[in-house]
């Protein structure tokens, strides 16, 4: 059995995670090009039983080229770059490691809030240029923070903010009211209430058809002129053109983005020309998280190939239903 690895992070922080597979007779092979595109993966995937990816695109071309693939495992959480539907049709498990990066992303979210409020990036740049200039910023303490998306990461952000004495607002289509009460977070029935009331709008939502472009001209117009936007989730949540307009017209106080609609961020992206704090999608990139995720991936892949386990798979139920339907149709005919 063999596993093809496209993820640059797999086994890097803790090589023992990759060795775990080898010790169980599963050969680990890295892709022959860095940052492989779908055409590269489609060329290499034949003959492999498992595929481990980072933010690499796994589209129908890759799935169609796979001749013995049993599992595609994301080295992280987001699955928006994987054609889960195509994989499901072919009976290939698609798995991820939800929650493993919660501390890293939540801490980075808080870091961006603090940096943005005090514009640390600007002051550091001025110092490097030999200038000594200071300007007043905004504190997070005693402000109103609105979190959209109360999954593992959103809840962790709320927990980290408890010591700042903030008013916590939250929106999630499937809220945990017991947790919210215990955390002192006010659940909003509509996410527009977050935009209207928060001093800090923090995005922790997954990218879905319902959330794509949730930050747009309309929602930005609801925000206070003194409010900040922070996104450590998915770039597709934000209409970047609308955000650039809002910043240029000073309709909001500022924004910090760690994720973008197109990555790497193009050199000519309009975002590079506005007053904004940008980081290169590093929120989940910590030594501790990388090691933790690698072990989850290794154990799930080994269990899938050696034991038939579906641990971590998001489409196991649908694959099982498809098989039952096929058997039923076959029995009738």
Structure tokens at 121: 């990036």
Q: What are phi and psi of 266, to 5 degrees?
A: -60, 145
Q: Which CATH number fits domain 2-98+287-332: 3.30.1490.20, 2.60.290.11, 2.60.40.420, 3.40.50.720?
A: 3.40.50.720
Structure tokens at 310: 């579906």
Predicted confidence pLDDT, tens digits, the chain (333 residues): 999 999 999 999 999 999 999 999 999 999 999 889 999 999 999 999 999 999 899 999 999 999 999 999 999 988 989 999 999 999 999 999 999 999 999 999 999 999 999 999 999 999 999 999 999 999 999 999 999 999 999 999 999 999 999 999 999 999 999 999 999 999 999 999 999 999 999 999 999 999 999 999 999 999 999 999 999 999 999 999 999 999 999 999 999 999 999 999 999 999 999 999 999 999 999 999 999 999 999 999 999 999 999 999 999 999 999 999 887 665 554
pTM: 0.87
pLDDT at 255: 98
323 included as an active-site residue: no
DSSP secondary structure letter of residue 215: B
pLDDT at 330: 58
Residues of the chain within CATH 3.40.50.720 domain(s) are: 2-98+287-332, 102-278
pLDDT at 126: 96
Asked if 145 and 169 touch (Cβ cutoff 8 Å), the reply is: yes
Structure tokens at 64: 């169609």
CA atoms within 13 Å, Cβ hemisphere of 64: 5
pLDDT at 328: 67
Q: What are phi and psi of 5, to 5 degrees?
A: -115, 120
Structure tokens at 323: 């098989």
Structure tokens at 151: 């999954």
Q: Is the dihedral of CA 86, 88, 93, 97 positive or negative?
A: positive
Q: What are phi and psi of 235, to 5 degrees?
A: -60, -35
Residue in the structure block whose two tokens are 């063999």 = 2
Q: For strand 50-53 and strand 71-74, is the pairing parallel, antiparallel, or unpaired?
A: parallel
Write the CA distances from 287 to 15, 92, 155, 209, integer angstroms: 12, 30, 22, 32
Buried b (16+ CB within 10 A) or exposed e, 83-97: bbebbbeeebbbbbb
262 included as an active-site residue: no
Write the CA distances from 318 to 50, 92, 93, 310, 314, integer angstroms: 19, 11, 10, 12, 9
DSSP secondary structure letter of residue 185: E
Exactly one of 61, 73, 234, 240 is catalytic; which is it? 234
Exactly one of 39, 263, 288, 321 is catalytic; which is it? 263
User: Can you say how many angstroms the Cα of residue 111 is from the centroid of all Cα atoms in its chain?
Assistant: 17
Asked if 312 and 96 touch (Cβ cutoff 8 Å), the reply is: yes
The count of residues in the chain is 333
263 included as an active-site residue: yes
Terminal C-alpha separation, the chain: 36
CATH of the domain spanning 102-278: 3.40.50.720
Distance CA 89, CA 272 (A): 41
Give CA angle at 314 (110, 107), nearest 5°: 10
Asked if 57 and 38 touch (Cβ cutoff 8 Å), the reply is: yes
């Amino acid at each position: 059995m063999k596993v093809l690895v496209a993820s640059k992070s797999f086994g890097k922080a803790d090589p023992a995670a990759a060795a775990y597979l080898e010790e169980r007779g599963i050969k680990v092979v890295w892709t022959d090009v860095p940052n492989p595109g779908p055409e590269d993966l489609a060329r290499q995937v034949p003959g492999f039983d498992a595929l481990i990816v980072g933010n690499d695109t796994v589209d129908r071309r890759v799935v169609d080229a796979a001749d013995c693939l049993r599992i595609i495992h994301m080295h992280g959480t987001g699955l928006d770059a994987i054609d889960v539907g195509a994989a499901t049709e072919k009976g290939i498990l698609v798995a991820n490691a939800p929650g493993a990066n919660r501390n890293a992303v939540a801490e980075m979210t808080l870091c961006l809030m603090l940096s943005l409020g005090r514009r640390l990036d600007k002051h550091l740049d001025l110092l490097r240029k030999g200038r000594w200039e200071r300007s007043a910023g905004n504190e997070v303490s005693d402000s109103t923070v609105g979190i959209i998306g109360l999954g593992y990461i959103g809840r962790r952000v709320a927990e980290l903010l408890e010591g700042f004495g903030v008013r916590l607002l939250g929106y999630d289509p499937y809220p945990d009211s017991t947790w919210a009460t215990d955390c002192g977070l006010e659940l909003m029935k509509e996410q527009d209430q977050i935009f209207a009331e928060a001093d800090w709008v923090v995005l922790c939502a997954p990218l879905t058809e319902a959330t794509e472009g949730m930050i747009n001209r309309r929602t930005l117009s609801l925000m206070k002129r003194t409010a900040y936007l922070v996104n450590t989730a998915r770039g597709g949540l934000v209409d970047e053109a609308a955000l650039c307009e809002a910043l240029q017209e000073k309709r909001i106080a500022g924004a910090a983005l760690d994720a973008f609609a197109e990555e790497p961020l193009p050199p000519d992206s309009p975002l590079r020309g506005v007053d904004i704090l940008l980081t290169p999608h590093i929120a989940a990139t910590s030594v501790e998280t990388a090691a933790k995720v690698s072990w989850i991936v290794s154990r799930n892949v080994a269990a899938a190939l050696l034991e038939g386990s579906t641990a971590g798979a998001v489409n196991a139920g649908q694959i099982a239903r498809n098989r039952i339907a096929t058997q039923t149709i076959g029995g009738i005919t």
